[in-house]
């Protein structure tokens, strides 16, 4: 039976109380913890980096989903892998050699994901389909939480779903997910929904996670 996984994006957490926020996410039953890394070059913003990730990883036993929005991701795979990432996703558009980056992630026995920005066509992923565990489809321009879902990306999710056929590749969707946009992403083929601003502003996070997970 198909069940959607929910990845809570820590970018929208209260940074002064990360320990409490991690506990809130754990109690919500969210499947994954989504950790956004930005470098101020690949995206016009900065977030948190390695020291905070190490602290988070020590504190939780959740599945750690690292989303690298940085140039030359290959330089940082070792650090995130050794700190406890379970899945490392980098951008196809980032400076660097994507094949080498995938091989490096594999070298550390982690799951490997590739993300595409809204302007990048689905077919750019074709050469990687035998190498990766996950495709992360951005439904906003990467860099900031709280933006609106780009409805024109729903067709791309569907196209990727058709493209991967029977391969065991998950499709994760990131940006602007809430109770109105999640059904659109799931019906197009999303397996994992990232939720940041929508999820963290809820009083009852568990109820929201359960609701998002039930969407067919
Ligand atoms: C944005 C990040 C997202 C962000 C999503 O570049 O990759 O993971 O936290 O936030 P929302 O759910 O608020 O769009
Ligand atoms: Zn993200």
pLDDT by residue (tens digit) across 79-92? 999 999 999 999 99
Q: What are phi and psi for residue 71, nearest 5 degrees?
A: -75, 155
The per-residue pLDDT for 216 is 86
Q: Is 36 a catalytic residue?
A: yes
In angstroms, the CA 187 to CA 34 distance is 22
Mean pLDDT of the region 110-122: 98
Does residue 9 have a pLDDT over 60? Answer: yes
In angstroms, the CA 91 to CA 87 distance is 13
Tell me the domains of the chain and their CATH numbers. Answer: 5-213 (3.20.20.70)
Where are the extended beta strands (E) located within the chain?
5-9, 32-38, 63-69, 87-91, 111-116, 134-138, 170-174, 192-195
Does residue 184 have a pLDDT over 90? Answer: yes
In angstroms, the CA 23 to CA 36 distance is 18
What's this model's pTM, rounded to 2 decimal places? 0.97
Does residue 101 have a pLDDT over 90? Answer: yes
Q: Which ligand is nearest to the CA of 67?
A: 2
Query: Which of ligand 1's atoms lies nearest the C-alpha of 12?
Result: 9
Tell how far the Cα of 9 is from the centroid of ligand 2, in angstroms: 7
Q: pLDDT by residue (tens digit) across 38-53?
A: 999 999 999 999 999 9
Residues in the 5 Å CB sphere of ion ligand 2: 36, 67, 174
Q: Is 191 a catalytic residue?
A: no
Residue 1 pLDDT level (bands cut at 50, 70, 90) = low
67 ligand 1 Cβ < 6 A: yes
């Amino acid at each position: 039976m198909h069940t959607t996984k929910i990845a809570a994006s820590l970018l929208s957490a209260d940074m002064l109380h990360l320990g409490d926020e991690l506990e809130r996410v754990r109690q919500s039953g969210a499947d994954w913890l989504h950790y956004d890394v930005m470098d101020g070059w690949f995206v016009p913003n900065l977030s948190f980096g390695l020291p905070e990730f190490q602290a988070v990883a020590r504190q939780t036993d959740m599945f750690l989903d690292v989303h690298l929005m940085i140039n030359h991701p290959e330089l940082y795979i070792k650090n995130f892998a050794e700190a406890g990432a379970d899945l490392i996703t980098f951008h196809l558009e980032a400076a660097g050699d994507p094949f080498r980056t995938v091989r490096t992630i594999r070298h550390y026995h982690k799951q490997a994901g590739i993300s595409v920005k809204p302007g990048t066509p689905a077919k750019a992923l074709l050469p990687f389909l035998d190498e990766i565990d996950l495709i992360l489809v951005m439904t906003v321009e990467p860099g900031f939480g709280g933006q609106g879902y780009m409805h024109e990306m729903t067709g791309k999710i569907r196209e990727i779903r058709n493209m991967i056929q029977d391969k065991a590749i998950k499709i994760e969707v990131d940006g602007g997910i809430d109770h109105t946009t999640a059904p659109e992403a799931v019906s197009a083929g999303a397996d994992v929904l990232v939720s940041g601003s929508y999820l963290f502003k809820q009083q009852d996070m568990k109820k929201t996670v359960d609701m998002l997970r039930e969407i067919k």
